[in-house]
């Protein structure tokens, strides 16, 4: 079950997350990226100051915002009943190692569907200059019962 009143609720900004070069490499290996993705010279030849993150890396930052919601007693989300339904990342610019990021999550919708709840979270990710760099949109299905 999910409290439908959290629709529209905006949660506080997360503490800053420093994107580490070795973390990017570790994540890239875990998602079976090609060797070039771990190569600093290759990234620089493409005009980037450092390694570019794999496209799904912002899930790590989204997770920090999601943890705030899951621990919010008002939201009443039972994590053991949660299944990942949909995920999307929209980039304003590439995120690279060395970026320091914070995120802010808004509950964009809470829907009820055949005994289950579907909750959509929009997590906006900002750089140190407070510019939006990426929006991570996640829909979780909370099974009823």
* Nearest distance, CB of residue 109 and other proteins, angstroms: 16
Is residue 86 within the footprint of other proteins (CB under 8 A)?
A: yes
Binding-site member from 70, 94, 109, 111 for other proteins (CB under 8 A): 94
Nearer to other proteins, 9 or 21 (CB): 21
d(CA 122, CA 120): 7
DSSP string, the chain: ---GGGTT-BPPPPPPEE--HHHHHHHHHHTT--GGGG-HHHHHHTT-SSPBPPTTTTHHHHHHHHHHHHT-TTT---GGGEEEEEEEEEESS--BTT-EEEEEEEEEEEEEETTEEEEEEEEEEE-TT--EEEEEEEEEEE---
* Nearest distance, CB of residue 76 and other proteins, angstroms: 20
Which of positions 19-58 make contact with other proteins (CB under 8 A)?
A: 23, 26-27, 29-34, 36-37, 46, 48, 52-56
Residues near 128 by beta carbon (within 8 Å), at least 6 away in sequence = 16, 99, 100
* Nearest distance, CB of residue 74 and other proteins, angstroms: 24
* Nearest distance, CB of residue 5 and other proteins, angstroms: 27
Binding mask 58-77 for other proteins (x = CB under 8 A): -xx--x--------------
**Considering CB under 8 A, how many residues would be counted as binding other proteins?**
34
Residues in contact with other proteins by CB under 8 A are 23, 26-27, 29-34, 36-37, 46, 48, 52-56, 59-60, 63, 80, 83-91, 94, 96, 137
């Amino acid at each position: 079950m999910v409290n439908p009143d959290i629709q529209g609720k905006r949660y506080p900004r997360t503490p800053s997350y420093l994107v580490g070069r070795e973390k990017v490499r570790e994540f890239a290996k875990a998602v079976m990226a090609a060797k070039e993705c771990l190569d600093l010279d290759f990234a620089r030849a493409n005009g980037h100051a450092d390694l570019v993150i794999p496209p799904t890396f912002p899930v790590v930052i989204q997770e920090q915002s999601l943890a705030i919601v899951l621990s919010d007693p008002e939201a009443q989300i039972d994590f053991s009943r949660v299944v990942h339904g949909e995920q999307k990342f929209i980039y304003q610019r590439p995120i690279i190692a060395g970026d320091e990021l914070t995120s802010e999550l808004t509950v964009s919708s809470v829907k009820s569907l055949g005994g289950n709840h579907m909750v959509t979270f929009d997590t906006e990710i900002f750089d140190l200059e407070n510019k939006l760099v990426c929006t991570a949109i996640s829909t979780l299905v909370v099974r009823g019962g």
